[in-house]
Structure formats: C-alpha cells, structure tokens
Amino acid sequence: MAKKVTKIGVLTSGGDAPGMNAAVRAVVRTGIYYGLEVYGIMRGYTGMVENDIIPMHSRSVANIIQRGGTILKTARCKEFLQKEGRQKAYNNLKDLGIDGLVIIGGDGSFRGADVFSREFDIPCIGIPGTIDKDIAGTDFTIGFDTAVNTAVESIDKIRDTADAHDRLFIIEVMGRDAGYIALHSGIATGAEHILIPERKTDMEELISSLQEKERRKKLVNMVVVAEGDEFGGGDQVAALVKERLPNVDTRLCILGHIQRGGSPTCLDRLIASRMGYSAVECLLEGRHNVMVGILNNRMQYTLLEKAVKSKQKISDEWMKIVKILAS
C-alpha cells in the first residue's frame, strides 16, 4: 500500500511557458483543500539542491492565474544531473518532510524526475509545461496555445507589410525540434509553405513553387520555418532562397522569445488548472512517476519514462491540408 503523502513540493523547470502560474496555483490550492502542506521550490531543481524552498499558502498564489512566466522561477541545474546533487536535493526534502513532488516542465524535467523518484522512492507527478508540444500522452501542453496565438498575431502583421511591399517573408518560429508551432501558425495565417523537422524539406520543390508563384504574380508569399528545421532554421532557408531567387525581395523575420511570454490564453489557463488539480489527486491516490495529460478531453496518465521517450507525431493529413490550401 502506498504511503500517504502529507507534504508536497511544486516546482517549474526548463523553459518557461504561459500558464505555468495557473498550474502552480491549482496545485497549491488543491493541496491545501485536501489538508496537505505545500512548498514552492524556487528555480527548479536548483532550488531543491540549494534548499531554496518556501511554504505556500492560498494567498501565495493570489492574482497569478493571468500572469505569464512563473512566480517560482525556473533554471537548468547541472548539479542535479549528478548523483551527489540529487542526494543533496533529497536530504533537503527529507529535512522538511516533503514526501511528494509535482514537476511542471518538459521532457528534460521529466527525465530528472523519473531518475530522482526511482533513486529515492519519492512519488513524482509531471505536468507538461512547454510551448513546443513535443510530449506524448496529451493533446495539449501548457503554453502551446498561447505561443501559437502570439505567432499568429505576429505573422498576420508581417503579412500586411508583405502585401504593401510585394515581399517574400521567411518567418522562423520556436519549437526546438518539434514543428507544431510552425504547423499550426502557418495554417492559421495562410502561409504558402511550412517547413518542419518532422518532414524532409525538398528545397528544389520550394524554389520551383516560389518561382511559379512569381510568374503568376502572386504578390504575397509567406514561408513559416520551425527553428529546428533540417536547414538550420529561417536564416539558412532565407540565405538559400536569396541565392537562388536574387530578384525576389526576400526578408527574414525571427519571432524568437516573444512566443514564450505574455498572458496565457483561456485554454492554457483551463488545462493548467485541470492538470494541477489532477496532479495532487494522483499523489493522494498513490500514483508514482506519471505525467498527467488530456486526451480527447479526458485525463490521461502516462509513465514519465514513456512520455519522454515518445514524441507527438504529425499526421500526413496535416501536410496534405497545407499543400492544398496553399495552392
């Protein structure tokens, strides 16, 4: 029978994502509702190693649901990668009596949680907080919807300039080695081409298509590129296009970290609240080493090990839609 948790810690780790604060709020208030003591661990695993851990109360998370970033801060911790660092972290948790953890982050954060939980037999529950949407076991990750909407808003504005000047714009969006932000924002903004890591880019086909559009006097052309594309992102694609099509007025725009910040959308606030609540329920039920996700509007529990080893797959249907709608 699983040991009953009485004190839990919550941390945010890896890259920040809009909606992390909503998840923290849900964890804290759900824990308090069930009579648990809740602690906030500052700066991810770094705070666990350095004992930067503070008690959280209901008022600690007041007025944060609408804020981007994370009030607990986030960092990457090299010391936690070593057994000695993890031992130090465990000792700090043990001194405080913390017997359960909620980790809000991406695949790297979950790998650390999985190893830590197995070494010291402390239950860890993961909440997928990453704008990249590159974790299996959930239809949504916290921050993705906000990041996509930020990209869409920016690309719409770039299209106005492209139309005014008859320019070709190469627009790089974030996503690391996943193409979801590029795919969704590209379709939503009517991009003529979308280049993603999951599909091999035929540069000759891209050049030929752009030449054809030039012959047809198609005045506005938008190419959305994921930063992890095989050609090295937008700058490399833009360089190749300029070399092959010197007469086309081509501009590069890298949206960058603007996609990480900002007030989370309604969807991100909702899923963060739902996942935070479910994470505490998991600890109370005695679950170990699982990620809470949402599939087909139902809660889904995936082993952390499986969540980090598998990736969301982009279907061929999406790519067919891109090709047809951009023709």
Residue 218's pLDDT is what? 62
Q: Classify residue 185: in a domain, yes or no.
A: yes
Q: Classify residue 319: in a domain, yes or no.
A: no
Cα 175 from Cα 238, distance rounded (Å): 18
Q: Classify residue 251: in a domain, yes or no.
A: yes
Q: Tell me which DSSP letter residue 142 carries.
A: B
Residue 205's pLDDT is what? 86
Q: Classify residue 325: in a domain, yes or no.
A: no
Enclosing domain of residue 102 = 7-143+264-309
At 115, give phi and psi (nearest 5°). Answer: -65, -45
Q: Classify residue 107: in a domain, yes or no.
A: yes
**What number of other Cβ atoms are within 10 A of residue 247's Cβ?**
6
Is there a binding annotation on residue 108?
A: yes
The per-residue b/e assignment along 211-221, b for 16 or more CB within 10 angstroms, e otherwise, is eebeeeeeebb
91 & 164 share domain: no
Residue 326's pLDDT is what? 74
Is there a binding annotation on residue 269?
A: no
Residue 165's pLDDT is what? 83
Q: Are 291 and 123 in contact (CB under 8 A)?
A: no
Cα 171 from Cα 186, distance rounded (Å): 10
95 & 53 share domain: yes
Residue 217's pLDDT is what? 66
The per-residue b/e assignment along 93-127, b for 16 or more CB within 10 angstroms, e otherwise, is beeeebbbbbbbbbbebbbbbbbbbeeeebbbbbb
Cα 319 from Cα 180, distance rounded (Å): 12
Domains identified in the chain, total number: 2
The CATH number assigned to the domain holding 295 equals 3.40.50.450
Grouped pLDDT means (10 residues each) for the chain, 327 residues: 85 96 98 98 97 97 97 93 96 97 95 94 96 92 97 94 86 90 94 88 85 71 86 84 89 93 97 98 94 95 86 79 81
127 & 177 share domain: no
Is there a binding annotation on residue 121?
A: no
Told to judge if 156 belongs to the known catalytic residues of this protein, a careful annotator would answer: no
Q: Classify residue 326: in a domain, yes or no.
A: no
Kindly state the tokens that stand for 70: 């994370």
The CATH number assigned to the domain holding 236 equals 3.40.50.460
Q: Please tell me whether residue 75 adopts helix, strand or coil conformation.
A: coil
Q: Are 296 and 139 in contact (CB under 8 A)?
A: yes
Options 132, 134, 229, 268, the catalytic residue = 132
123 & 46 share domain: yes
Is there a binding annotation on residue 220?
A: yes
137 & 272 share domain: yes
